Structure 1
């Protein structure tokens, strides 16, 4: 009898070792898994075309035998899952989460201490997510991952839209090239930043967007980055194989874990239609459901603020030029001479509050209100800021009360200067101060080199800090807009008080020399795969020297393009970033920013090609109004639009804000025209979009 049991067991293990396979619910994607001499491999096909060739899986552990070989499959479970859930905010009212799952339990031999590794695959109609799981076990209680060896073997020399792999910043312009050209172009792709650490001549960051020669679109990213190091991709450009490359900590280790634990999900989104990449919700679906029970305080916001005038150099964050060094609790500001350029003065902030109140904006952001800006950057200061003490020329209580009377919320600013310990020891006090003064949202910043020295912005410890700040903010019912933090990976589903991030090259770089005109046609396919971006659009004066004669930068965009960004660059937190006086020059165009929605019932992706153009229509939640945006790349083009997304049998009026025929991002950016037309679901429109331009349309039902 014992012999028979052993024969059955051996047969079962042999059957499992032959390989495992699942298909997506619609049958178009197929995942294959197999062990080759104890080494795990996976591959992915789409409509019988290879997306990922056989690729290795596994991890290297510090001080232990490897976690990449010596495996047998001891169990395989398969199931189908289908649910629909409603986000607190989003690009649509409800999201379907439908996948087929395969969970493989792998067991190592005696040479590898009889350890167990679980690999969980979820195959959606639009792509794949998989992660490593580490069950509780005596031989893997506490462990250090020195390298993750996950591979993504490409089936060709694809065209890619990439930025350099970097442990500290994503603030780069995107490069379009063949994979084989990354090494050659890397040097010129790495442009200066205040904090950056590149690691390889072929290393790139996720979300990585690619297109194959036969028209397939592939996106590589990660989801649910919790208690783990951020993943980059390092390319073997001879074999066209990407391998995961984790951000190290100060001593070079990648991840410290104890079982039970899990890795983030590695994601592959694929389609033969670029619009499906934008419509994919894999990243959100692979995150845990909302953990905030009462979300009534989480509200999309439209805001203005004292920011662009400081970014351009018209104003300053610092109050005085008298102090070569500031020591909190010692430096006396009461006798200091103001420099005359400080932006966050009571009078100036009240001017923005008046503008916000007059035009129906929800909030005003103030930067440079708190002491310490005189020597904040580059001096490795631990106690660099406090977050409760205003400058002498900023009447915090008076501004607070003035805003309240005007019906405007103030948005707090917490620049940490990357002194993380300083922020954490003050965070409860800072958040309580916000609540006491009616500040319900905070913009946090992490400019500069991480303190303590040696750590990186995207290491496990810093990822944990950003998460700590989000969860701590939730305790105080505060919304977070984090700048220079790790790029989002769908965490906004679990903690929807993370209402926006920067974590990419935003509008501020238009004042630092400019971004490529097609930059905004790439970001939705890359940075926004993980969550909304606080891109801070709405710049109407493109010649920065008119704000600051010493700054010759140029905003590579047209006014119509800037309007369209409120639709194409999705965020529940949207800023009208320019100065009030610039909006007052173009009040007819400014009307679209006032009208455009923030929270959406439905999104329709009308056309898309990364790096070239993008047209999206969105239906506003609660009103039934539609807003449409088109952003264009380097060459002018005419867009053909069908309005069949509108409800049949109803009549609509559309206001079109568009480039003129002679508009151009560089030599005629403020050339726009506005016209009204009647629409039904059967209507069609041919509309010109200039180089670096676009158009925006508001559509309201005619009663």
Structure 2
């Protein structure tokens, strides 16, 4: 009898080994289990576990996979024919901009090869990293005719007690990330844009879902939980009025974008470079001409573009006074008057040692702002970019893209490629979220895709929501790439802001953007006290290292970013009440440091400055006003002989 029991156990064990295969991250903290049945046709699913202390916590219960073409489906009719051995992925690379200079694409990869009931092949490739998981679909057969990839069955399943911070989907990705424990939207659409943040099942485990390495043969996706609030299905961009296509039309072989899940403690999420890690390496041969930096920006203060030559002069002079290398000449520059035209404005900037950047309408969406017809086709781009190079323009801001369809993915990439030929940097506005392109084409300096400070011009909503929103973005939108929020405003635009001056100053460190557009009026910066003004003259926009010191979405954040031998700290109070932010200096080397702290003063329009000696392991409590904040600079002290 015992032999029968042993045989049964061995049989069950062999069935389990067939039906489920594990992939472990290099540090063994993340475990992916993929169903891989080679005995019958069925649906593939995967689950993710995370090792917290001594035990594995289920992060993602069994979650369906699959993809659909117009000529074939690969959903509930898949059979495993082969699974590769786990292989190491190990690639070091350097970023010109971003949260970290030296990065490593370091994980393990396993490829599952399936066929559907028509014997057509599909590969599902998994990569597992110490800070997350990425997977993609691959059609490996060769078909010269176009096929239409129309849908995915990919669904992220979460326990019902999961907390979430999700943005309702809009084409411009300009909305808030409100906290929810139900997964239900204020509208009936139940559609969500990337990135999407989850805190799983009351455990200290966080997941940020997005996607990366989209190409001209992909469209961008979104999430939908219309059928079940705890099941988030990947959905492709909808057709639009003048682009009727659903999904992607492509010849084979083909692969999807990488679906990414950044997983771990909150600091693992914030500090992750997974979006860049899985994206294609730099395609540009020369990059010495790519120079990140602060920018003076006209639009915010006047809710208008740059048709007034005298305003362009004012903001050029501001850049000179603040030692910022760039001035952005925004929309309406093609009808500039009041003393000069665009050539005069460019020449004035160059005469002052300031490098001009210039705005364009993409020509695909809201066509009223001009110039609106110069970036849409290859021929028009070549003509315009050659002219820009000739007159001395260093970068373009391209605005008002039409959506997330395949033709828009192609347009983004075509603009980046064409601009690089003329050594022109690029800023995308009114655009999709970052998808790893800044690694592939490092002339992409920043992307809007955020409910930023320009919204003080449009509605009164941001006045009361800004502090909480600002304290949420470091855990959501800014994780996946540079974010052109247009920060650090002390005066008011059309609608007032009630964040403190200390809070506003801290945005220069808390928010990462390779072109940091400082948005306020010249007189607002000129009238600052000496210490905050000098801080804004020197604060970097690119970083060697980034650390989350403390934080929780919507409540507080303390970011530490290293540049050379200095650490810059920024802290935000996201609450409408006073809060003490605690700086733990455990991230420092074993040395003595001098800290210059610029924090909230006696009221929200004043500052207080302190000089403090600190070392590794020290703790400093900083009192913040409601919606307040602080910045600090840490300088390592030379050892005495």
State the TM-score, normalized to the length of structure 1.
0.81
Match status 1:430 vs 2:384: yes
Q: Which stretches in structure 2 are left out of the alignment for 5+ residues?
A: 1-13, 366-371
Are the counterparts in 2 of residues 514 and 556 from structure 1 also a CA contact under 8 Å? no
SS in 1 for 2:472: helix
Q: How many residues align?
A: 598
The match for 2:46 among 42, 46, 71 is 42
Are the counterparts in 2 of residues 83 and 96 from structure 1 also a CA contact under 8 Å? yes
Q: How does 1:237-636 map to 2 (within 5 A)?
A: 238=228, 240-249=230-239, 250-271=243-264, 273-311=265-303, 316-317=304-305, 343-371=306-334, 391=337, 393-416=339-362, 418=364, 423-425=375-377, 426-446=380-400, 450=402, 457-512=403-458, 513-515=460-462, 516=465, 517-541=467-491, 543-544=492-493, 551=494, 553-588=495-530, 589-621=532-564, 624-634=565-575, 635-636=577-578
Q: CA offset at residue 162 of structure 1? A: 1.3
Aligned to 2:195: 207
Are the counterparts in 2 of residues 344 and 394 from structure 1 also a CA contact under 8 Å? no
Distance 2:151 2:163 in 1: 27
Q: How does 1:93-132 map to 2 (within 5 A)?
A: 93-109=101-117, 112=118, 114-132=119-137
Calculate the aligned-residue CA RMSD, in Å. Answer: 2.2
Q: CA offset at residue 411 of structure 1? A: 0.8
Are the counterparts in 2 of residues 412 and 434 from structure 1 also a CA contact under 8 Å? no
Q: Which stretches in structure 1 are left out of the alignment for 5+ residues?
A: 1-12, 188-199, 318-342, 373-389, 451-456, 545-550, 664-668
Distance 1:632 1:423, change over 3 A: same
After superposition, the C-alpha distances for 1:243-266 in whole angstroms (9 at most, x for unaligned) are: 111112332512112111110111
Distance 1:620 1:118, change over 3 A: same
Distance 1:92 1:368, change over 3 A: closer
Aligned to 2:369: none
Distance 2:105 2:553 in 1: 25
Distance 1:230 1:636 in 2: 41
Are the counterparts in 1 of residues 488 and 505 from structure 2 also a CA contact under 8 Å? yes
Are the counterparts in 1 of residues 67 and 74 from structure 2 also a CA contact under 8 Å? yes
SS in 1 for 2:225: strand
Distance 1:464 1:688 in 2: 48
The match for 2:222 among 228, 232, 242 is 232
Aligned to 2:69: 61
Distance 1:157 1:223 in 2: 28
SS in 2 for 1:128: strand
Match status 1:26 vs 2:27: yes
After superposition, the C-alpha distances for 1:369-392 in whole angstroms (9 at most, x for unaligned) are: 4336xxxxxxxxxxxxxxxxx557
Q: CA offset at residue 239 of structure 1? A: 6.5
Are the counterparts in 2 of residues 538 and 576 from structure 1 also a CA contact under 8 Å? yes
Q: CA offset at residue 164 of structure 1? A: 1.1
Aligned to 2:608: 673
After superposition, the C-alpha distances for 1:352-377 in whole angstroms (9 at most, x for unaligned) are: 222211221101111134336xxxxx
Q: CA offset at residue 497 of structure 1? A: 0.5
Are the counterparts in 2 of residues 229 and 459 from structure 1 also a CA contact under 8 Å? yes
Are the counterparts in 2 of residues 107 and 116 from structure 1 also a CA contact under 8 Å? yes
Distance 2:175 2:98 in 1: 26
After superposition, the C-alpha distances for 1:551-579 in whole angstroms (9 at most, x for unaligned) are: 4x122421111111111111121122100
The match for 2:91 among 83, 107, 110 is 83
Are the counterparts in 1 of residues 327 and 357 from structure 2 also a CA contact under 8 Å? yes
Distance 1:682 1:23 in 2: 33
Distance 2:593 2:162 in 1: 45
Q: Which is richer in strand?
A: 2
After superposition, the C-alpha distances for 1:82-115 in whole angstroms (9 at most, x for unaligned) are: 2322112232231122111110111123xx2x21
Distance 1:368 1:203, change over 3 A: closer
Are the counterparts in 1 of residues 573 and 626 from structure 2 also a CA contact under 8 Å? yes
Are the counterparts in 1 of residues 363 and 375 from structure 2 also a CA contact under 8 Å? no
SS in 2 for 1:130: strand
Are the counterparts in 2 of residues 274 and 610 from structure 1 also a CA contact under 8 Å? no
SS in 2 for 1:136: strand
Q: CA offset at residue 35 of structure 1? A: 4.1
Q: CA offset at residue 240 of structure 1? A: 1.7
Distance 2:251 2:106 in 1: 31
Distance 1:432 1:392, change over 3 A: farther
